[in-house]
Chain A
């Protein structure tokens, strides 16, 4: 539990750093760092329970997508502002390094193992954002009644 809390704090500070580097408007920084911290903690919990960093990245990305959608609606801002600093924590930077290191040791087996995991983690981030984006799109279409289900069914059937 203590370990989780430290990691959460570190992720908060890391996201704060990213938010400043990418020049997030000052009034949105608190929301940004919370999104980043929640994304990282989701990654850690999923990774711990399922034992797979790939699934961790997927659910982390889903979390970031969901939270930033909420923030975007709340503050009437572009979603990008919250997604970018939040998602950066999940990008497998350390895995890139370990793939390289395995390559240097001419350990092809390790390299393939870590390399594929890196690629899959990047893919999982993409999938998470994609799935969340699609869900949000359908959700808002239903809320705003841009697609009327009854009408749609009548026409199709």
Chain B
């Protein structure tokens, strides 16, 4: 196998792995996908080491004694389970049919540019999550209405901050601070609105469910490094959420708005 072809296959596999990793797949799946794609093209000697922030891979070719390695820095972006599902299907069809590398690249282009849900639907979904949880945590009908508006605005702020590449700590902090402020304002202006369910509902929007789930699955498949990394991420996110809400409530209390 010539070196150019070997490189092309590796680039394709690495791209598929990168899409999966940025969309929130677990390590095992990323490594497995890359290995399968390489092996289906006749590269037998593949080694992949993936972490949440980077993918390392190297392949060896016996006949032409080509050793090629790549390091891919992974920049985290938003979770997108559709992309994981589609790359999964792509790797399955790539390994079972004789698809060429160019065709594979076209499909990956298509996957990378896919937008399954428009923005306003996701914003409404966020409002639904916040309002449903505010009722689950003991809110009434009025709390439900307040949580719809606050949840919607929190999600908008979160997207806005993400666009300006704020890190996840600042994002969680700001969103929860804003949610607490709105909830306290509503509780002060209207009778019958209590701030606790509304704030808890909005916190549920940002809880680190994905880092917790993925870290367990990474631990289970023996990827200790990323397991620890994601567990730490989950802890930091929870602290940022609590701190954001806490600072605003404390300030409100000190200004005499509520009694704790």
Inter-chain contact B116/A104, CB cutoff 8 Å: no
Contact partner of B128 among A13, A83, A94, A122, CB < 8 A? A13
- Give Cα distance in the complex from A105 to B234, angstroms: 25
Q: Which of B40-48, B64-72, B75-83, B101-109 contacts A (4 or more CB under 8 A)?
A: B75-83
Inter-chain contact A21/B209, CB cutoff 8 Å: no
Contact partner of B81 among A24, A94, A97, A122, CB < 8 A? A24
- Give Cα distance in the complex from A81 to B214, angstroms: 11
Q: Which of A47-55, A123-131, A139-147, A148-156 contacts B (4 or more CB under 8 A)?
A: A123-131
Q: Nearest residue in B to A77 (C-beta to C-beta)?
A: B85
Nearest chain B CB to A34 CB, angstrom units:
16
Tell me which residues from 77 to 128 in chain A have a Cβ below 8 Å from any Cβ of chain B: 77-78, 80-81, 83-84, 87-88, 91, 93-94, 96-101, 103-105, 122, 125-126
- Give Cα distance in the complex from A133 to B26, angstroms: 14
Known: A22-B81, A80-B24, A101-B196. A10 touches B135 (CB 8 A): yes
Contacts of B212 in A (CB 8 A): 87, 91, 122, 125-126
Inter-chain contact A26/B116, CB cutoff 8 Å: yes
Inter-chain contact A80/B207, CB cutoff 8 Å: no
Nearest chain A CB to B107 CB, angstrom units:
16
Contact partner of B213 among A7, A16, A100, A129, CB < 8 A? A129
- Give Cα distance in the complex from A126 to B117, angstroms: 30
Tell me which of B29, B88, B204 has the highest count of chain A C-beta atoms within 10 A of its own C-beta: B204
Contacts of A103 in B (CB 8 A): 246
Contacts of A104 in B (CB 8 A): 246, 249-250, 253, 260
Contacts of B213 in A (CB 8 A): 80, 83-84, 87, 129
Inter-chain contact A25/B82, CB cutoff 8 Å: yes
Contacts of A7 in B (CB 8 A): 136
Contacts of B137 in A (CB 8 A): 94
Chain B residues bordering chain A, tally (CB within 8 A) = 57
Inter-chain contact A14/B129, CB cutoff 8 Å: yes
- Give Cα distance in the complex from A7 to B88, angstroms: 34
Known: A17-B128, A20-B121, A21-B129. A93 touches B220 (CB 8 A): no
- Give Cα distance in the complex from A19 to B210, angstroms: 12
Q: Does residue A11 face the partner (Cβ distance < 8 Å to B)? A: yes
Chain A residues bordering chain B, tally (CB within 8 A) = 45
The B interface is mostly helix, strand or loop, or mixed, namely helix
Q: Does residue B173 face the partner (Cβ distance < 8 Å to A)? A: no
Contacts of A125 in B (CB 8 A): 212
Inter-chain contact A80/B242, CB cutoff 8 Å: no
The 8 A CB mask of B205-244 against A (1 = contact, 0 = none) is: 1011110111111011000000000000010001001110
Contact partner of A23 among B79, B88, B215, CB < 8 A? B79
Q: Does residue A74 face the partner (Cβ distance < 8 Å to B)? A: no
- Give Cα distance in the complex from A111 to B25, angstroms: 35
- Give Cα distance in the complex from A20 to B80, angstroms: 10
Q: Does residue B39 face the partner (Cβ distance < 8 Å to A)? A: no
Contacts of B249 in A (CB 8 A): 100-101, 104
Q: Does residue A18 face the partner (Cβ distance < 8 Å to B)? A: yes
- Give Cα distance in the complex from A105 to B249, angstroms: 11
Nearest chain A CB to B50 CB, angstrom units:
15
Q: Does residue A2 face the partner (Cβ distance < 8 Å to B)? A: no
Tell me which residues from 83 to 99 in chain B have a Cβ below 8 Å from any Cβ of chain A: 83-86, 88
Q: What are some 6 contacts across the A-B interface (CB < 8 A)?
A: A11-B132, A14-B128, A23-B79, A88-B209, A91-B209, A93-B204
Question: Known contacts A25-B86, A80-B217, A93-B133; can you find 4 more A-B pairs with CB under 8 A?
Answer: A20-B117, A77-B85, A87-B213, A98-B200
